[in-house]
Amino acid sequence: MNLNQINPNLINLVKVVSTTVMFSAVGLELGNIYALTNSIRVPSNLDIVFVVERIAVTSHFIEAIIAGFFAPAKNKQPIQYAVYTFFTGTIGLLELLQIDKVEEKPN
């Protein structure tokens, strides 16, 4: 997928939404851990929310690991780009992987 073909405003919107959702997911998981350690009952109707949240966090974590491994080859800081990719998701990973394609493109 070529990011240059996508509307930049849409990419920025996805980044903002993804970052907001990931911060919310991490906060939700921390709240759940707090509730479990202090024997606070969490409503059972939130179980599906926790499942979706864990899937999102896991997929973004895997993308962050991939970005961390590829970042040095693209002259980027691995930890910095892994954290960026964790919060922005696939868009951040696509940006990292397309750096060479943009640089190699003849004018």
pLDDT tens for residues 5-58? 778 888 899 999 999 999 999 999 999 999 999 999 999 999 999 999 999 999
The domain total for the chain is 1
Residues 6+ apart with CB under 8 A from 59: 89
Residue 29 lies in a domain: yes
In a domain, 66, yes or no: yes
pTM exceeds 0.75: yes
Residue 2 placed within a domain: no
Instruction: Confirm if 3 and 11 have CB atoms less than 8 A apart.
Output: yes
Domain enclosing residue 99, as ranges: 12-104
Establish if 71 belongs to a structural domain: yes
Tell me, yes or no, whether 5 lies in a domain: no
Higher pLDDT, residue 97 or 82 = 82
Residue 77 dihedral angles phi and psi, to the nearest 5°: -75, 125
